[in-house]
Amino acid sequence: MLFVYILVVSFIVVITFFYLSSLVNNIVYNVPQVSTFNSDLNILKSVFDKYELEWKSIADLWSWRWKMLRLFEKEYKMNSTWFEIDLSNVLLSRITSKFLKLKNKSFRKNYFKADLKNFDYIYTYLFPCLMEKVEKKIWSDCKKWTIIFVNAFKFEKHEPIEVFQKNWKDKIFVYEI
C-alpha cells in the first residue's frame, strides 16, 4: 500500500512540476501556449495529404505538445524538429519519443533564435500576439519554396495560397515563401 501511495504522490508532484514550469515559461516569455486538439489533427491530416511530405524535413515552432511530432513521423515519415522553450515539455517529448521509438528531435530553444533555412516545411500554432514576429522570422530565414502550415491564426502581411476550413473554428492556412 505504501508503494502505491508513493507512486501516486510522485506522479502528482511530477505533473504539478510540469504544469508549473509551463506557467512560469508563459509568464517569462509572455506567451500563452496553444494545445493541438484532435479536431486539429483531423483537419491537418486532410491538408497534409495534399502535399508530398514523405521524407521531407519539418520544423514545429513551439506548438506546446508533441502530438504533431508523432503525426509527422508516424503518418508521413518526416524528419521532424520541435523548438520549445519549456524544459519540461522537451523532457516529456524526449521520454515519449524514446518510449514510442520515434526519431524526432526536440530542442529547448527559442525558435526566434533557431536556424530555419534547412526545413522544407514549417508548422506553427501560436496566438495572434506572436504571429507578426513569427511571420517576419519565417520570411527572413526560410528558403524559397518553403511551405508553412499555420493553425487557426493567419499572418497579417502575406496571403495564404490555400485555406482549409472544416467549420467556423478549425482553419489551416498554407503559405509558400
Tell me, yes or no, whether 10 lies in a domain: no
* Per-residue model confidence (pLDDT) at position 167: 72
Q: Which of 157, 159, 174, 138 is nearest to 61 (CA)?
A: 138
Q: Which of 71, 79, 80 is nearest to 49 (CA)?
A: 71
By CB neighbour count within 10 A (0-12 exposed, 13-18 middle, 19+ buried), where does 30 fall? exposed
- As for how many domains the chain has, the answer is 1
Q: What's the rounded mean pLDDT across residues 60-76? A: 75
Tell me, yes or no, whether 15 lies in a domain: no
Tell me, yes or no, whether 39 lies in a domain: yes
* 175 band by pLDDT with thresholds 50, 70 and 90: very high
Tell me, yes or no, whether 11 lies in a domain: no
Tell me, yes or no, whether 75 lies in a domain: yes
Tell me, yes or no, whether 25 lies in a domain: no
Q: What's the rounded mean pLDDT across residues 151-176? A: 87
Q: Collect all residues with Cβ–Cβ distance below 8 Å to 20 and sequence separation of at least 6.
A: none
Amino acid at 18: F
Q: Is the pTM of this model over 0.85?
A: no
* Per-residue model confidence (pLDDT) at position 135: 94
* Per-residue model confidence (pLDDT) at position 106: 67
CATH number, domain with residue 95: 3.40.50.150
pLDDT tens digit string along 6-61? 888 888 887 787 677 766 766 666 665 666 667 777 778 888 888 888 778 888 88
pLDDT tens digit string along 106-157? 666 777 888 899 999 999 888 777 888 899 999 999 999 999 999 888 899 9
Tell me, yes or no, whether 112 lies in a domain: yes
Tell me, yes or no, whether 13 lies in a domain: no
* Per-residue model confidence (pLDDT) at position 113: 84
Give the residue numbers spanning the domain of 97: 32-176
